[in-house]
Amino acid sequence: MNQKTIIEFDLILLAAGKGERMGFQKQFATIGNLPIWRIALDQIRTHSSCKTVIIVFPKNAYIDQSFFDENPDTKWIHGGDTRCISVWNALNFYETQSSQKPYLAIHDAARPILPHSVLDEMILKLEQGEKAVIPVLNASDTIKTCSFPYILGTLKREELVFAQTPQLFKTEIIQSSYKNFFSNKRSDKLAKLAFNPSDDSSLVELNGTKVAVVPGSQKLQKLTIKEDYNYLKHILEERFETRVATGYDVHKFRPWGDNETRRKIMICGVEIEHDSAIEAHSDGDVGIHALCDAIFGCLADGDIGSHFPPNDEKWKNVNSEIFLEYAIHKVIDARAKINFLDITLVCELPKIGPERIKMKKRLASICNLPIERISIKATTSETLGFTGRKEGLSAIATVTLILPINTD
């Protein structure tokens, strides 16, 4: 019995457009707090067959490297003046990588909605032995040739389709097609195409390989003009939801031990001198503990104790930043994004005001957030209760998180 071939592919995601028709660089415009290139990336990267990704950005664009440091299978390069040159740059970079999959996809970031059902149909074609496959839409309108202000003729609509992306190829096929194009070996055919190809399958056709087709999707509409963006924004914003959750933590004070010479406690990632120690299993950072609970709440993923049991000796005396970094990775894994976080610290002492900016900067660094999206407040309980008696301190955290709704 023949074993079924498992199709895996690497991806070139093109996000190097200048946005001349749109009036701005659409790939960096945000919808649901995510840039369009990220939405497009997440749509295709969540397919189990997609592996290494190369993103092509415009020259001189500012790129936040932290995302790529956290996602080592996703790399980026600068593009060229045309789409064709950008793909060529990516293919040259791809050849320097230590491993390559047998198949390579090329996709426009300007098509951020990708139904996985389209990709599944394309993969099925490859399993059946095709070497190149693209999604297409049948032409629904009558298409005419024109020399303004007069019509020249009418084309047969039955033979016309609109090519979409992603386009999937045997890796050596697309590589050789671009090499032949840039070495100008096919100049006779290139002249007929007037030739600055806006479509990768055009070069594969020129190179003598048949290109198979599957039904595309209206959802794969390409962003070209502002009206496209406004329409897509309306659709995509329905695919995100905003969640809000709170977290609470409390720790009591205890006397410092004879061997404890540092005499500093941790609050929101910052060491503060205090005349009492905190009784806790870890370092007792109430701000971070409450923040973690709020994040886990937004994700409907338990609380800090379910992820880091207090009876587990592995977490004894550890820095609570480890817990927060873990929570942030949970957010990334869910393809979500923290929009805002707020922490209220309740204590008579120590005084929080002098350390507030340090705390905000520390949390901004861990959470990869602008400092203006972090609020830290402090209050007393007017001498009431355990905090009023200076027996301990507590924290209340609130997080708003934007989460994609998993629809196809």
Q: What percent of the chain has pLDDT over 70?
A: 92
Task: Pick 9-237's CATH classification: 3.20.20.150, 3.40.1280.10, 3.40.50.620, 3.90.550.10.
Answer: 3.90.550.10
Predicted local distance difference test score (pLDDT) of residue 5:
62
CB hemisphere CA count around 5 (13 angstroms): 13
Predicted local distance difference test score (pLDDT) of residue 41:
94
* Residues 6+ away with beta carbon under 8 Å from 374: 340, 341, 342, 360, 363, 364, 367
Distance CA(390)–CA(406), nearest Å, equals: 47
The pLDDT-based confidence of 354 (bands split at 50, 70, 90) is: very high
pLDDT, average across residues 145-157: 90
Question: Above 60 in pLDDT, residue 188?
Answer: no
Q: What are the percentages of helix, strand and coil residues in the chain, rounded to 5? A: 35, 25, 40
Characterize the bridge pairing of strands 270-273 and 264-267: antiparallel
Predicted local distance difference test score (pLDDT) of residue 238:
62
Question: Above 50 in pLDDT, residue 220?
Answer: yes
**More confident position, 1 or 76:** 76
pLDDT, average across residues 352-360: 94
* Residues 6+ away with beta carbon under 8 Å from 384: none
Characterize the bridge pairing of strands 144-147 and 150-154: antiparallel
Nearest to 397 by CA among 281, 306, 288: 288
- Minimum mean pLDDT range among 118-122, 187-191, 259-263, 358-362: 187-191
Question: Above 70 in pLDDT, residue 28?
Answer: yes
Predicted local distance difference test score (pLDDT) of residue 288:
97
CATH-assigned architecture of domain 240-404? 2-Layer Sandwich (3.30)
Q: Angle CA(370)–CA(371)–CA(376) in degrees, nearest 5?
A: 140
Nearest to 27 by CA among 8, 10, 40, 42: 40
Distance CA(77)–CA(60), nearest Å, equals: 11
* Residues 6+ away with beta carbon under 8 Å from 263: 256, 273, 274, 275, 277
- Minimum mean pLDDT range among 22-26, 54-58, 174-178, 249-253: 22-26
Nearest to 164 by CA among 40, 74, 335, 57: 40
The pLDDT-based confidence of 195 (bands split at 50, 70, 90) is: low
Q: Which residues pair with 169 in a beta bridge?
A: 104, 132
The pLDDT-based confidence of 308 (bands split at 50, 70, 90) is: very high
Distance CA(93)–CA(292), nearest Å, equals: 40
Question: Above 60 in pLDDT, residue 189?
Answer: no
* Residues 6+ away with beta carbon under 8 Å from 242: 339, 400, 401, 402, 403
Distance CA(33)–CA(114), nearest Å, equals: 19
pLDDT, average across residues 331-345: 91
The pLDDT-based confidence of 4 (bands split at 50, 70, 90) is: low
- Amino acid residing at 57: F
DSSP conformation class of 48: T
The residues spanned by each domain of the chain are 9-237, 240-404
CB hemisphere CA count around 16 (13 angstroms): 26
Distance CA(269)–CA(267), nearest Å, equals: 5
pLDDT, average across residues 11-40: 83
Mean pLDDT of the chain: 89
Distance CA(210)–CA(377), nearest Å, equals: 65
- Minimum mean pLDDT range among 94-98, 248-252, 261-265, 345-349: 261-265
pLDDT, average across residues 238-263: 87
Give exposure, 18-30, as e/b (b: 16+ Cβ within 10 Å).
ebeebeebbbbbe
Question: Above 70 in pLDDT, residue 22?
Answer: no
127-136, pLDDT tens digit by residue? Answer: 999 999 999 9
